[in-house]
Chains A and B, each alone.
Chain A
Protein backbone atom coordinates (compact mmCIF):
# COMPACT_ATOMS: atom_id res chain seq x y z
CA UNK A 1 0.00 0.00 0.00
CA UNK A 2 1.04 3.57 -0.63
CA UNK A 3 2.83 5.34 2.21
CA UNK A 4 3.00 9.09 2.85
CA UNK A 5 5.78 10.22 5.18
CA UNK A 6 5.59 13.47 7.13
CA UNK A 7 7.96 14.79 9.80
CA UNK A 8 6.32 14.42 13.23
CA UNK A 9 7.04 18.01 14.15
CA UNK A 10 8.13 21.34 12.73
CA UNK A 11 8.91 24.43 14.79
CA UNK A 12 9.07 28.00 13.56
CA UNK A 13 9.18 31.49 15.03
CA UNK A 14 6.34 33.92 14.37
CA UNK A 15 6.78 35.78 11.11
CA UNK A 16 9.03 33.12 9.63
CA UNK A 17 8.21 30.53 6.96
CA UNK A 18 7.20 26.97 7.80
CA UNK A 19 7.62 24.15 5.30
CA UNK A 20 5.93 20.82 5.93
CA UNK A 21 6.89 17.97 3.63
CA UNK A 22 4.97 14.90 2.53
CA UNK A 23 7.05 12.18 0.91
CA UNK A 24 5.75 9.40 -1.30
CA UNK A 25 6.88 7.35 -4.26
CA UNK A 26 6.38 9.52 -7.35
CA UNK A 27 3.93 11.70 -5.45
CA UNK A 28 4.43 14.36 -8.10
CA UNK A 29 2.14 12.33 -10.36
CA UNK A 30 -0.73 12.55 -7.86
CA UNK A 31 -2.96 15.35 -6.59
CA UNK A 32 -2.13 16.25 -3.00
CA UNK A 33 -4.50 17.83 -0.53
CA UNK A 34 -3.58 19.37 2.83
CA UNK A 35 -5.64 19.72 6.01
CA UNK A 36 -5.14 21.73 9.18
CA UNK A 37 -6.50 20.36 12.44
CA UNK A 38 -6.52 22.26 15.70
CA UNK A 39 -7.07 20.46 19.02
CA UNK A 40 -10.64 19.32 19.53
CA UNK A 41 -11.72 20.48 16.07
CA UNK A 42 -12.48 18.86 12.74
CA UNK A 43 -9.88 19.13 9.99
CA UNK A 44 -10.02 22.08 7.59
CA UNK A 45 -8.93 21.90 3.95
CA UNK A 46 -6.17 24.47 3.36
CA UNK A 47 -4.73 23.40 0.00
CA UNK A 48 -6.18 21.10 -2.67
CA UNK A 49 -4.89 19.73 -5.96
CA UNK A 50 -1.29 20.44 -4.97
CA UNK A 51 -1.47 24.22 -4.86
CA UNK A 52 -5.03 25.60 -4.94
CA UNK A 53 -6.54 27.35 -1.94
CA UNK A 54 -10.19 27.10 -0.92
CA UNK A 55 -11.98 30.38 -0.46
CA UNK A 56 -11.29 31.87 2.94
CA UNK A 57 -7.82 30.37 3.30
CA UNK A 58 -5.13 33.07 3.55
CA UNK A 59 -2.65 33.49 0.71
CA UNK A 60 0.05 32.70 3.27
CA UNK A 61 -0.77 29.03 2.68
CA UNK A 62 0.67 27.55 -0.50
CA UNK A 63 1.56 24.15 -1.85
CA UNK A 64 3.88 22.50 -4.34
CA UNK A 65 4.41 18.96 -5.55
CA UNK A 66 7.20 17.44 -7.58
CA UNK A 67 9.11 14.19 -7.75
CA UNK A 68 8.83 12.33 -4.47
CA UNK A 69 7.92 15.29 -2.24
CA UNK A 70 4.95 17.58 -1.78
CA UNK A 71 5.35 20.66 0.40
CA UNK A 72 2.95 22.86 2.30
CA UNK A 73 4.45 26.30 2.87
CA UNK A 74 3.08 28.73 5.43
CA UNK A 75 4.52 32.21 5.10
CA UNK A 76 4.58 34.83 7.86
CA UNK A 77 3.55 32.23 10.43
CA UNK A 78 1.16 33.35 13.14
CA UNK A 79 0.40 31.86 16.54
CA UNK A 80 -3.00 30.78 15.21
CA UNK A 81 -1.31 28.51 12.66
CA UNK A 82 -0.20 26.13 15.41
CA UNK A 83 -1.94 22.86 14.57
CA UNK A 84 -1.53 19.40 13.11
CA UNK A 85 -1.24 19.23 9.34
CA UNK A 86 -2.06 16.19 7.19
CA UNK A 87 -1.40 15.49 3.53
CA UNK A 88 -3.71 13.24 1.54
CA UNK A 89 -3.65 11.50 -1.84
CA UNK A 90 -5.67 8.95 -3.76
CA UNK A 91 -3.91 5.71 -4.67
CA UNK A 92 -5.10 2.31 -5.83
CA UNK A 93 -8.76 2.94 -5.05
CA UNK A 94 -8.02 4.25 -1.58
CA UNK A 95 -7.54 7.55 0.20
CA UNK A 96 -4.19 7.72 1.98
CA UNK A 97 -3.31 10.21 4.72
CA UNK A 98 0.14 11.10 5.92
CA UNK A 99 0.87 10.56 9.59
CA UNK A 100 0.56 14.25 10.37
CA UNK A 101 2.95 17.02 11.37
CA UNK A 102 2.58 19.11 14.50
CA UNK A 103 3.48 22.71 13.77
CA UNK A 104 4.71 24.57 16.83
CA UNK A 105 4.98 28.34 16.77
CA UNK A 106 7.80 29.28 19.13
Chain B
Protein backbone atom coordinates (compact mmCIF):
# COMPACT_ATOMS: atom_id res chain seq x y z
CA UNK B 1 0.00 0.00 0.00
CA UNK B 2 1.15 3.51 -0.75
CA UNK B 3 2.54 5.32 2.28
CA UNK B 4 4.18 8.67 2.82
CA UNK B 5 5.82 9.01 6.22
CA UNK B 6 7.05 12.43 7.28
CA UNK B 7 9.62 13.51 9.83
CA UNK B 8 8.66 14.75 13.27
CA UNK B 9 7.61 18.11 14.62
CA UNK B 10 10.09 20.98 14.65
CA UNK B 11 10.44 24.18 16.67
CA UNK B 12 12.55 26.89 15.07
CA UNK B 13 13.51 30.46 15.81
CA UNK B 14 12.76 33.25 13.35
CA UNK B 15 15.42 33.43 10.66
CA UNK B 16 16.33 29.76 10.92
CA UNK B 17 15.75 27.01 8.35
CA UNK B 18 13.79 23.78 8.53
CA UNK B 19 14.06 20.64 6.42
CA UNK B 20 11.15 18.19 6.39
CA UNK B 21 11.46 14.70 4.95
CA UNK B 22 8.83 12.48 3.33
CA UNK B 23 9.68 8.80 2.84
CA UNK B 24 7.59 7.03 0.20
CA UNK B 25 6.83 3.34 -0.07
CA UNK B 26 4.44 1.03 -1.88
CA UNK B 27 4.93 2.44 -5.38
CA UNK B 28 7.62 3.27 -7.94
CA UNK B 29 8.94 6.53 -6.54
CA UNK B 30 10.36 7.85 -9.80
CA UNK B 31 7.06 7.47 -11.67
CA UNK B 32 5.42 10.28 -9.73
CA UNK B 33 6.02 13.71 -8.33
CA UNK B 34 5.70 15.03 -4.81
CA UNK B 35 3.89 18.22 -3.92
CA UNK B 36 4.17 20.06 -0.63
CA UNK B 37 1.15 21.74 0.93
CA UNK B 38 0.99 23.65 4.19
CA UNK B 39 -1.83 24.63 6.49
CA UNK B 40 -1.52 27.39 9.08
CA UNK B 41 -3.51 26.91 12.30
CA UNK B 42 -7.22 27.21 11.58
CA UNK B 43 -6.59 28.12 7.95
CA UNK B 44 -6.96 26.50 4.54
CA UNK B 45 -4.54 24.63 2.33
CA UNK B 46 -1.65 26.41 0.62
CA UNK B 47 0.37 24.79 -2.17
CA UNK B 48 4.11 25.28 -1.84
CA UNK B 49 5.46 23.53 -4.90
CA UNK B 50 6.10 20.28 -6.75
CA UNK B 51 9.11 18.18 -7.62
CA UNK B 52 9.45 15.42 -10.15
CA UNK B 53 10.96 12.33 -8.57
CA UNK B 54 11.97 11.24 -12.07
CA UNK B 55 14.28 14.10 -13.03
CA UNK B 56 14.22 16.59 -10.14
CA UNK B 57 12.36 19.31 -12.05
CA UNK B 58 10.65 21.72 -9.71
CA UNK B 59 7.78 24.20 -9.78
CA UNK B 60 7.56 26.49 -6.75
CA UNK B 61 4.76 28.75 -5.64
CA UNK B 62 5.66 32.30 -6.57
CA UNK B 63 5.15 33.45 -2.99
CA UNK B 64 7.91 31.16 -1.72
CA UNK B 65 10.41 31.51 -4.58
CA UNK B 66 13.87 32.05 -3.15
CA UNK B 67 13.04 30.64 0.29
CA UNK B 68 12.06 27.06 -0.53
CA UNK B 69 14.02 24.19 -2.03
CA UNK B 70 12.60 20.76 -2.80
CA UNK B 71 14.81 17.76 -3.47
CA UNK B 72 14.53 14.00 -3.73
CA UNK B 73 16.82 11.05 -2.96
CA UNK B 74 15.80 8.25 -5.28
CA UNK B 75 18.07 5.76 -3.49
CA UNK B 76 15.85 6.01 -0.40
CA UNK B 77 12.58 7.14 -2.05
CA UNK B 78 12.58 10.23 0.10
CA UNK B 79 11.55 13.78 -0.72
CA UNK B 80 12.74 16.83 1.19
CA UNK B 81 11.42 20.34 1.60
CA UNK B 82 13.67 23.04 3.02
CA UNK B 83 12.28 26.44 3.98
CA UNK B 84 14.69 29.21 4.91
CA UNK B 85 14.45 32.57 6.68
CA UNK B 86 11.54 31.35 8.77
CA UNK B 87 8.97 33.82 10.05
CA UNK B 88 6.19 33.43 12.56
CA UNK B 89 3.63 33.14 9.77
CA UNK B 90 5.43 30.02 8.51
CA UNK B 91 4.04 28.21 11.54
CA UNK B 92 1.92 25.48 10.00
CA UNK B 93 1.43 21.79 9.41
CA UNK B 94 3.43 20.81 6.33
CA UNK B 95 2.18 17.93 4.19
CA UNK B 96 3.78 16.03 1.37
CA UNK B 97 1.45 14.47 -1.17
CA UNK B 98 1.95 12.13 -4.10
CA UNK B 99 1.31 13.99 -7.31
CA UNK B 100 1.44 13.04 -10.93
CA UNK B 101 4.44 13.20 -13.24
CA UNK B 102 3.43 16.78 -13.91
CA UNK B 103 2.51 19.43 -11.36
CA UNK B 104 -1.09 19.85 -12.51
CA UNK B 105 -2.32 16.44 -11.33
CA UNK B 106 -4.33 15.66 -8.23
CA UNK B 107 -2.82 14.54 -4.91
CA UNK B 108 -3.94 10.99 -4.29
CA UNK B 109 -1.93 10.10 -1.19
CA UNK B 110 -0.80 12.36 1.64
CA UNK B 111 1.71 12.17 4.45
CA UNK B 112 0.58 12.51 8.04
CA UNK B 113 1.83 16.09 8.31
CA UNK B 114 4.69 17.76 10.16
CA UNK B 115 4.04 20.64 12.54
CA UNK B 116 6.62 23.39 12.23
CA UNK B 117 6.44 26.05 14.91
CA UNK B 118 8.38 29.28 14.47
CA UNK B 119 8.77 31.15 17.72
CA UNK B 120 11.37 33.19 19.51
Contacts and interface: CB of A to CB of B under 8 A. Distances in A.
**Category for how many chain A residues contact B:** 20 to 34
Given A42-B95, A42-B113, A94 B106 contact: no
B44 A95 contact: no
Contacts of B107: 33, 35, 43, 45, 88
Interface string A17-61: 000000000000001010101000011110011000010000000
B59 A93 contact: yes
A42 B108 CA distance: 11
Q: Which of A37, A49, A88, A94 has the most CB of B within 10 A?
A: A94
By secondary structure, the A interface counts as strand
A98 B45 CA distance: 8
Contacts of A35: 45, 107
Q: Which of B44, B62, B106, B113 has the most CB of A within 10 A?
A: B106
Q: Which of B45, B112, B113 has the most CB of A within 10 A?
A: B45
A35 B50 CA distance: 18
B104 A90 contact: yes
B111 interface: yes
Nearest to B98: A45
B46 interface: yes
Given A42-B113, A93-B59, A94-B61, A48 B106 contact: yes
B110 interface: yes
A49 B106 contact: yes
Interface of A: 31, 33, 35, 37, 42-45, 48-49, 54, 86, 88, 90, 93-100
6 contacts: A42-B95, A44-B110, A48-B108, A93-B103, A94-B62, A98-B44
